[in-house]
């Protein structure tokens, strides 16, 4: 799927490309030189730089501090960031996933209080959804919120909470009616992470970094004016957030995959090993990247029109995550032991390969995505239900 850009979008590309060139430091660019210790600070500084330059929150309405871009301009925006190998801003999750939800469901008080600090990165946010026994089955969450006076008391545990060790706030799903059907007794609240009763423990993942954490809540407090939407409306609100995560944010991952395929072709030429039987895999990777990009663009277009069927984002996420893993498997086949040698110039490939394993888990496992698609098409689910 290709577009002929309007003159306005061409001018937008020129301006944004120039700004990135003038403001993105070489040491901020995504590469193997970026270590676990400084990644968070790099992403925070880049977020501040985007805000100061007036380039933050591309899809947000202008009245809330965003750019209010058209779908075409948003695609250009993402293409330029990926082409420049810019990092994601540290608040990318809340800006891309929760921000539109807060704008839709939040009170004026909440918007005025939180949105400016989200955009300028004065406050860092994390997402408190998954639990040890409620990952793929998110509606099975057990963290409780009990109302006492004008506040809620939270008790429970969250897991796989990205960058919670740096977060000031958390948008969290909690159970407010334990007697209701599991999809109906959930609420979304805004949690202050800097209070007694909130304990964050980083978890070392497969690639040796500590992006993920587990969060323990013991009598943590949320004022009642920090409930988003109505009490027990949390499942609807969470699905609005997840649609953003599986829809618009997938487009950036799709474009990154396209860039990785270009890097893979360059690697093939660099290795110069004619005995490597990888030509078919390279062609498949190229086609996969184009398919994923087209699916993502279609979803962006439908989302911008307010006409995105619920199972379309699941199709995009499923297609990207599985084909991305296959592409990185090919890179490892090409490199072999070269990717594993200490200090190797190719070590970022094995890092990406290992990290890609999370792609078929976060934002809903591949099995969950297939069930969502099946339900949207009127087909039986993987468990045999409807």
pLDDT band at 1 (very low <50, low <70, confident <90, very high): very low
Contacts of 365 (CB under 8 A, 6+ apart): 135, 136
- Give the model confidence (pLDDT) of 270-298 as tens digits: 988 767 788 899 999 999 999 998 988 88
Q: What average pLDDT does this structure show over 315-334?
A: 92
With H, G, I as helix, E, B as strand and everything else as coil, classify residue 200: strand
Q: What is the pLDDT of residue 299?
A: 83
With H, G, I as helix, E, B as strand and everything else as coil, classify residue 336: helix
155 or 380, greater pLDDT: 155
Q: Catalytic positions, please?
A: 245
Q: What is the pLDDT of residue 381?
A: 73
Q: What is the pLDDT of residue 382?
A: 67
- Give the model confidence (pLDDT) of 45-91 as tens digits: 999 999 999 999 998 999 999 999 988 899 899 999 999 999 999 99
Helix or strand holding residue 11 (H, E): helix 7-23
With H, G, I as helix, E, B as strand and everything else as coil, classify residue 181: coil
Distance CA 34, CA 128 (A): 26
Task: Give the pair of three-digit tokens for residue 321.
Answer: 């995550």
Tokens 């993987």 label which residue? Answer: 382
Question: What predicted TM-score, i.e. pTM, was given to this entire model?
Answer: 0.88
Closest CA to 220 of 134, 132, 135, 128: 128
Q: Output the DSSP codes for 208-259.
A: S---EEEEEEEEEEEEGGGEESSTT-HHHHHHHHHHHHHTHHHHHHHHHHHH
Neighbours of 11 (CB within 10 A): 11
Distance CA 265, CA 276 (A): 13
């Amino acid at each position: 799927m290709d577009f002929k850009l309007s003159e306005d979008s061409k001018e937008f590309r020129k301006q944004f490309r120039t700004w990135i060139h003038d403001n993105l430091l070489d040491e901020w660019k995504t590469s193997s030189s970026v270590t676990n210790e400084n990644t968070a600070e790099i992403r925070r500084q880049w977020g501040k730089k985007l805000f100061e330059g007036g380039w933050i929150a591309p899809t947000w309405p202008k009245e809330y501090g965003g750019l209010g871009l058209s779908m075409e301009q948003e695609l250009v925006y993402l293409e330029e960031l990926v082409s420049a190998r810019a990092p994601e801003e540290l608040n990318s999750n809340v800006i891309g996933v929760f921000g539109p939800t807060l704008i839709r469901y939040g009170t004026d008080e909440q918007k005025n209080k939180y949105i400016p600090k989200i955009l300028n990165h004065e406050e860092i946010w994390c997402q408190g959804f998954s639990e040890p026994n409620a990952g793929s089955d998110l509606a099975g969450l057990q963290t409780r919120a009990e109302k006492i006076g004008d506040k809620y008391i939270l008790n429970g545990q969250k897991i796989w909470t990205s960058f919670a060790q740096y977060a000031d706030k958390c948008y969290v799903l909690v159970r407010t009616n334990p007697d209701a059907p599991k999809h109906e007794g959930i609420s979304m609240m805004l949690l202050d992470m800097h209070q007694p009763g909130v304990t964050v423990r980083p978890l070392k993942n497969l690639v040796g970094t500590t992006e993920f954490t587990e969060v323990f809540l013991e009598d943590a407090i949320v004022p009642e004016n920090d409930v988003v939407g109505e009490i027990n409306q949390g499942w609807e609100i969470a699905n609005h957030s997840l649609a953003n995560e599986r829809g618009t944010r997938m487009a950036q991952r799709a474009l990154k995959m396209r860039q990785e395929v270009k890097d893979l072709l360059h690697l093939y030429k660099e290795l110069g090993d004619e005995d490597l039987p990888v030509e078919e895999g390279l062609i498949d990777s190229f086609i996969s990247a184009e398919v994923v990009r087209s699916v993502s663009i279609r979803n962006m277009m439908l989302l911008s029109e307010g006409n995105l069927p619920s199972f379309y984002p699941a199709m995009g996420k499923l297609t990207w995550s599985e084909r991305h893993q296959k592409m990185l498997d090919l890179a490892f086949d090409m490199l072999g032991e070269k990717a594993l040698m200490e200090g190797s110039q190719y070590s970022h490939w094995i890092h990406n390969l290992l990290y890609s394993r999370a792609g078929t888990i976060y934002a809903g496992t591949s099995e969950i995505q297939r069930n969502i698609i099946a339900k949207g098409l009127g087909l039986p689910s993987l468990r045999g239900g409807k």
